[in-house]
Amino acid sequence: IEEAAAEQVKNNILVEDARTGLSVDALKRAISNNLFYVQGKYPEIATRNDYFMAISYAVRDRMLQRWTSSVRQYISGKNKIVSYLSAEYLLGPHLANNLINLDIYSQMEQAVKELGFSLDWLIDKEVEPGLGNGGLGRLAACYMDSLASLEVPAIGYGIRYQFGIFEQAISDGWQVEDTDNWLRRGNPWEIARREISYDVKLGGHVQRYIDEKGKLINNWIPGWVVKGVAYDTPILGYKVNTANTLRLWKSEAPRTFDFQSFNAGEYSNAVNQKIICENISKVLYPNDEQIEGKKLRLQQQYFFVSCSLQDMINIHLRSGDKIENFYEKFVVQLNDTHPSIGIAEMMRLLLDVHRMEWDDAWKVTTKTFAYTNHTLLPEALETWDLELFASVLPRHLDIIYEINKRFLVDVTLKFFGNHQKIDSLSLIGEGRRKYIKMANLASVGSFAINGVASLHTELLKKTVLKDWYEFSPEKFSNKTNGVTPRRWMVLSNPQLTKLITSKIGDTWIKHLEELKGLEKYAEDPEFQQAWMEVKLEQKKKLTRKIHGTLGMIVNPESLFDIQVKRIHEYKRQHLNVLHIITLYNRIKRNPDIDIVPRTFIFAGKSAPGYRKAKLIIKLINAVGKVVNNDPDVKDRLKVVFYPNYNVTNAQKIYPAADLSEQISTAGKEASGTGNMKLSLNGALTVGTLDGANVEIRECVGEENFFLFGLTADEVEKTKSEGYRPWEYYKNNKYLREVIDQINDGYFSQLDQLIFKELTDSLLYDDQFMVLADYQSYVEIQDKIDEAFRDKSNWARMSILNTARMGKFSSDRSIREYCNEIWKVESVPVELIDPSKTS
Ligand code: H2P
């Protein structure tokens, strides 16, 4: 270890002192120092959290040289910077990740051990920032990791929510939500930049007049103003000098007290203003919450986008360049429509603040933005009621009308007389009430539009963005999602990482396609055995975790069948449950039946207001209660609902999976990224031809993937011909038995009402084709049962899955964005010597 540290010192740092040294001794000194001088504690009275903070500050110190060096180089240089605008970042805990990316994991492990602790014990202490709902926020985090690892200058902008995604507990089988107070013990990874703040106007009205030069002036007189303060988190690249910035905005009142009201004796009025302003960055909205009419959500979106654009313009102008060249300094990626108000805000800043002419401003704007779409579900495409919008952003409404007016002239020329097309492309929707279509705003103002998997992009072109594709096909491209192998292998599965590295070296961590090198060992019995031993070890770890959390005993030799993701009808956790009940019924009919023992593990949160999703959680737990306790089952089936799914828990679950459930209705899951992490960790997939499953199957080989179900085309065809789920129920006696059992209260102590909403929706509506796919799902599960019995063949398939997942690294995705959309290049960072900066 010490030799390695000495080698690193040579390569990575310019001075060896308490804040930069990488040797075990330097790290020990740094931790003790921080404990004393930062935490104000000495060992006898220090808590676990004190140690966690002390070690985190020691790590952060070592990141700062890279970070300041990166910032200096980007700002002063002529490099183009990627600006990623996202309302969500699901980063996961930082400590272990930073140790890996700094390449000081083993030294730190040793240092902490010599101080009398275990590093794992401290790593487990970290509370993760849950600033996202699921895949979309986690993708943003993977992309930040890859941008830094590829040494691409980038800033991620978002919101520093005081409360992240709620914490989930299960009580009597139901989800209950608790606030996520992630900042309660402090956050050692962020640096408050109180000097970097911007005012954001809200509400009010627009005053129009002609100035002395005869120019029309639009003066926005706001109803109120809120201040955004920057909080920066350095994001390290893997074994490089680059550390990019994640800049999250916190909302505050411009002045803490309104002294006028205070003096007049209106104490509560004065304090109120502060509370109203702070509310904006208070809490993350859970997905699928009906956001219609949620003024605060629009305020949140505008707040962070306005701060971010003002910040970028500031950085650009400070470099001495002209505003007209903004798009040469920054390219802005919109992570879904949430930040798409940025297009109108950019226009406002250029027109009203920088006094540009419309055409020039529009040119800059449309050369700046690019838009990623993440969903085909029509209800997830954001719209804002026009009146509500006007009450928050009156000036932006004018601008949107003007953009629309000019745009529809072009549309009319192209689609002469086609009113359907004009209506569909218009930025304003004309229902009972008028509304603004944010996907249309994003599409008209961006020079590039992409989907997140091949199938998704193709469906976008055929459905929700069909008319946009016809209008400007050149804007469209596909960028299949990816995941970072640093967090999802090196960090969460160190044993498998070691085994792989022992065969093919460690360069695959930066070049995931090199995993191909494992293919030649797939048939090797010795390697197969080592591979399955690692898997078993991971399963045992999860087994202990399940026991510690739920008090349940599960068999690590059983097939670990895993479905972890947000709970949603389209993701079809209930289809999985129907299969579990089918197996249970087989055992009940024939208690000696020979079936492969399985442990079904579910985890995921439901949006608090989404009744049917919550009912699915209850159903999983209700079925679990019966199945897990029935003596006839003899522990051959176990159903586990692991509570509070987040990045921390995901890291423990993925490595233990034998089977990955990716069973969404074809055409509904844009991509999926859990599917990638599971397969990378050697799980086999049971899945539909949906999202990235299609590409995963192409890569791993169809013989190593368990396919079932209708295709997206078949789903549409079945629906258009008049889908009658009842028929499937009537004609399939096993399916009928399962549904009847749920309805008769078999799993709910004879309560026949509790699941009625769910079963009724399956029988009479079944938007997501659960009943249509049931038989094919059960059949493929029987094949899986058979396949799992052949241990050597299963091991071979598992190895091949990992070996062929190279495409799904977020490094590959980011390279594609860089080359094909952003046109940016890597900029290796030169370190500043901190001793020579004064
Ligand atoms: C969403 C999509 C996923 C996609 C992810 C990232 C919104 O995530 O549904 O299919 O992989 O974005 O592009 P999620 O359902 O996990 O919230």
Q: How many CB atoms lie within 10 A of CB 402?
A: 15
Residues 597-615 pLDDT 10s: 999 999 999 999 999 999 9
- Model confidence pLDDT, tens digit, residues 589-599: 999 999 999 99
- In this prediction, residues 79-105 reach a mean pLDDT of 97
Nearest to 547 by CA among 638, 657, 677: 638
Q: Which token pair is 761?
A: 């929706």
CB of 139 within 6 A of ligand 1: the answer is yes
The reply to whether domains 78-93+128-481 and 485-808 share a CATH topology is yes
**Range 361-378 average pLDDT:** 96
For 485-808, the fitting CATH number among 3.40.50.2000, 3.90.75.20, 3.30.70.3170, 3.30.300.130 is: 3.40.50.2000
Q: Tell me the residue type at 298.
A: L
**Amino acid at the residue 104:** I
> What are the distances in angstroms from CA 838 to CA 241, 743, 755, 832, 835?
21, 75, 69, 11, 7
pLDDT for 187 equals 96
What pLDDT was estimated at residue 173? 98
ipTM of model: 0.98
pLDDT at 289: 63
Give the pLDDT score at 20.
Answer: 84
Percent of the chain with pLDDT over 90: 90
pLDDT score of 8 more than 90 = no
pLDDT level of residue 78 (50, 70, 90 thresholds): confident
> Residues 524-541: what's their mean pLDDT?
98
DSSP state of 571: G
Query: If you take atom 11 of ligand 1, which residue's CA is the nearest one?
Result: 672
> Is 165 near ligand 1, meaning CB less than 6 Å away?
no
Contact criterion met (CB below 8 Å) for 386 and 464:
no
Q: What is the pLDDT of residue 201?
A: 98
% of the chain beyond a pLDDT of 70: 96
CATH class for the domain made up of 78-93+128-481: alpha beta
H-assigned helices in 125-266: 135-149, 259-263
> Per residue in 413-438, pLDDT tens?
999 999 999 999 999 999 889 999 99
Compute how many other C-beta atoms are within 10 angstroms of the C-beta atom of residue 348.
22
Mean pLDDT, to the nearest integer, of 63-83?
91
Please state the domain extents for the chain. Answer: 78-93+128-481, 485-808
Characterise 73 by phi-psi region: left (phi > 0), alpha (psi -120 to 50), beta (else). Answer: alpha
Tell me, what's the pLDDT at 33? 94
DSSP symbols for 497-534: HHHHHHHH-SGGGT-GGGGGGGGGGTT-HHHHHHHHHH
pLDDT for residue 838 is more than 60? no
- Tens of pLDDT along 151-180? 999 999 999 999 999 999 999 999 999 999
For the Cβ of 480 lying below 6 angstroms from any atom of ligand 1, the answer is no
Token output for 266: 């209106």
E strand intervals along 312-433: 330-335, 369-372, 383-385, 428-430
Place of tokens 């052949």: 790
pLDDT at 678: 98
Distance 92 CA to ligand 1 centre (A): 17
pLDDT score at 714: 98
Give the ligand 1 atom nearest the CA of 138: 6
**What residue ranges in 147-287 does DSSP mark as E strands?**
154-159, 167-171, 174-178, 191-202, 205-210, 216-221, 224-236, 243-252
DSSP 673: S
Structure token pair of residue 249: 């905005």
pLDDT digits (tens, 9 = 90+) for 461-471: 999 999 999 99
Sequential DSSP letters for 409-453: HHHHHHTTT-HHHHHHH-SEEESSSEEEEHHHHHHHHEEEEEESS
Ligand 1 center to 763 CA (angstroms) = 27
Contact indicator for 382, 289 with CB cutoff of 8 Å: no
pLDDT in tens, 276-320: 999 999 999 988 666 666 999 999 999 999 999 999 999 999 989
Residue 513 has pLDDT above 90, yes or no: yes
pLDDT score recorded for residue 122: 94
Asked whether residue 3 carries a pLDDT value surpassing 90, the answer given is no
**Per-residue pLDDT, 671:** 98
Question: Which tens digits make up the pLDDT trace of 739-786?
Answer: 999 999 999 999 999 999 999 999 999 999 999 999 999 999 999 999
pTM for this entry: 0.97
Q: For 449-491, write each residue's pLDDT tens digit.
A: 999 999 999 999 999 999 999 999 999 999 999 999 999 999 9
Residue 833 has pLDDT above 80, yes or no: no
Share of the chain residues as helix, strand and coil, in percent rounded to the nearest 5: 55, 15, 30
259, with CB counted inside 10 A (0-12, 13-18, 19+), is exposed
Q: In this predicted model, what pLDDT tens digit does every residue of 655-666 receive, in sequence order?
A: 999 999 999 999
Active site residue 475: no
Contact 130, 164 (CB under 8 A): yes
Compute the distance from residue 567 Cα to the ligand 1 centre, in Å: 12
Q: What is the pLDDT of residue 157?
A: 98
375 lines ligand 1 (CB under 6 A): yes
Distances 584 to 370, 430, 506, 579, 747 between C-alpha atoms, Å: 50, 52, 44, 9, 12
Average pLDDT of the chain, as a whole number: 95
Task: Compute the distance between CA of residue 185 and CA of residue 42 in angstroms, rounded to an integer.
Answer: 18
Q: Is the pLDDT of residue 257 over 60?
A: no
Measured between alpha carbons, how far is 618 from 433 in angstroms, rounded to an integer? 37
Which among 153, 134, 12 is positioned nearest to 73, based on CA atoms? Answer: 153
Best residue among 567, 571, 673 to mutate for probing ligand 1's pocket (most ligand atoms within 8 Å of CB) is 673
> Band of the pLDDT at 268, cuts 50, 70, 90?
confident
Integer Cα distance of 352 and 306 in angstroms = 14
Structure-block tokens of residue 115: 């101080």
What are the CA-CA distances from residue 171 to residues 168, 273, 475 (Å)? 10, 38, 49
The whole-number average pLDDT for the span 511-529 is 98
